[in-house]
Structure formats: structure tokens, C-alpha cells
Chains A and B, each alone.
Chain A
């Protein structure tokens, strides 16, 4: 029900978006690999991943980005699907055991567009994703 309330809400400058928090596990990474078809061993093969610069498996960037999209859906509902735009950079890696939070803030409302700063961080404060999301009215 709270999601429906968020969809009906009109956002103004400096308003925060409803944050989304998820726990990353290897099981979830494996499930996403199956669904997405991205079987890069960096995500699903601990022995291989241990030999890389990451020294272990990491979550798919698109999985972590899905949490940002979920936040935008919770905030803007169908408008996000119908008239959404996203431009982000992946800045860090989420590992099994990490807790990550997608959050955002409206930075401007102009010309029929609501523009938000969005990011995803670990509880340690490390930024995983940062960028901008926009919904046109």
C-alpha cells in the first residue's frame, strides 16, 4: 500500500526518494546470473574471481542498478516505465555479505521533468553507483 501512496505523490526539489535496502548473497548473484544470462565467472565462480583484481565474486552491476530502478518505480510508478531516463556510472563492487541501499533526491523540477540524483552505497559508505534519473511528465 505504501508503494501506491508513493506513486500518487508529487515530488519537489530536495525531496528524498524512498530508499531501498538489500542484502547481497552469492545465492542472489547466482539467481540473477540465471535470469539475466550473464554467467561471467567474476560473478559466479569464486575460484576464478579470487584470481582477479576483486579477489572474490561481485554482484552484477545491473543487479545493483535494479535496486535503483525499484526505488524509481516505488516513487514514480508507471511514469518511470513510460518516461524514465537513467544515466549512471558503476563506481564500486558489491560483494556477498554486503548490505546496499539505493537512495535519491530530487535536484530540480523543470520543463515537465523531475530530475533526481541517485546512488547506491554499501553500509560502509562506499559508493557503488552514482548518477542521474529523470522522469518526464
Chain B
């Protein structure tokens, strides 16, 4: 059974995960996001938000969103190469957790790097959810 983000403390480190950005998945993402601009970038470029979405997906495979969770903020820094990186390593950590008036405000740091350690993306997702939230989905 997947643990809920609601049960995890500040400082929790998620297991390092390998991401595989296959051309098929990138194409699926581009269709879903209707990104018409990425085709104008030379090389096998993928949208930077695809990497963010992929890292969040791997996070959600390890911890479910509590019921009523809302994504309230996002910070991202990109250092992507011109060519598509096929195999990447994602890390995530609960950087902050505050409780106020029955709600939890949680900041989750996200990092994606190449297998050789070159950082391609870093950032923080901020979510909020009811203190008594149950796992959704």
C-alpha cells in the first residue's frame, strides 16, 4: 500500500528513481500539453515541463496525494542539454512542512540529473492539503 504524503515528515528523502524519457513518452506528453513550440527547437528537444511532470510522477509512485491536496506553487530551474537524455535520475525530499488552521503546507524539493551527475532540473513543488486528509485515488 502506498504511503500518503500526509504521513511523511519534513526531511523525508524519497528513494532515488531512474527516469526513462522515451521518445514515445515525450510524444505522449507533447500531445497532452499541446506544445506547438518545442518543434521549433533544434535536436531531440523535449519540453522542460515534461521533465518536471516526469519527476512528479515518480514521486507520486512512492507517496499518494492526500485527498483534497492542491498544488499551490512551483519553482523550477532548467539546465537541459540540446539532445534528449534517455536515462535520468530523480531525487525528491520534503523540504518543509507547516501546519496551520487545519491545513498542511508542504514544500517538496525535486532534482533530476544525468546518470553521470549533471543536474538538469531542480525546483520545489508546494502543495497544501487538509490535516486529516486521506489518500486519494
List A residues at the B interface (Cβ < 8 Å). Answer: 3-4, 7, 20, 22, 28, 31-32, 34-42, 52-53, 60-63, 65-67, 69-71, 73-74, 77-78, 80-90
Q: Does B22 contact A (CB under 8 A)?
A: no
Q: How far is the CA of A36 from the CA of B69 in the complex (A)?
A: 17
Taking CB as reference atom, which chain B residue is nearest A74? Answer: B37
- Per CB-CB distance, the 4 closest pairs between chain A and chain B, nearest first, are A3-B40, A37-B57, A66-B33, A35-B32
B36 engages A62 (CB within 8 Å)? no
Query: Are A34 and B41 in touch, CB under 8 angstroms?
Result: no
Query: Which of A36, A52, A61, A89 counts the most B-chain CB atoms under 10 A from its CB?
Result: A36
Given contacts A35-B28, A37-B60, A69-B49, contact A78 B41 (CB under 8 A): yes
Contact of A40 among B25, B32, B48, B137 (CB under 8 A): B137
Q: Which residues of B contact A (CB under 8 A)?
A: 25, 28-29, 31-42, 45, 47-49, 52-53, 56-57, 60-61, 65, 68-82, 123, 136-137
Residues on A with beta carbons closer than 8 Å to the beta carbon of B68: 52-53
**Complex: A89 Cα to B123 Cα, angstroms:** 13
Pick from A22, A61, A77, A80: contact of B71, CB under 8 Å: A61
Q: Which of B32, B39, B47, B65 has the most CB of A within 10 A?
A: B32
Q: Return A34 CB to nearest CB of chain B, in Å.
A: 7
Q: Are the CB atoms of A35 and B29 closer together than 8 Å? A: yes
Q: A71 to B56, alpha carbons, bound, how many Å? A: 22
User: A81 touching B78 by the CB < 8 A rule?
Assistant: yes
Contact (Cβ within 8 A) A41 B136: yes
CA distance A27 to B39 in the complex (A): 23
B37 contact from A3, A22, A31, A52, Cβ within 8 A: A3
27 A-B residue contacts at CB 8 Å?
Answer: A3-B37, A7-B40, A20-B37, A31-B31, A32-B32, A35-B25, A35-B33, A36-B56, A40-B137, A60-B71, A61-B71, A62-B52, A63-B33, A73-B41, A73-B48, A74-B40, A77-B41, A80-B48, A80-B78, A81-B48, A81-B80, A81-B82, A82-B81, A84-B78, A88-B73, A90-B71, A90-B72
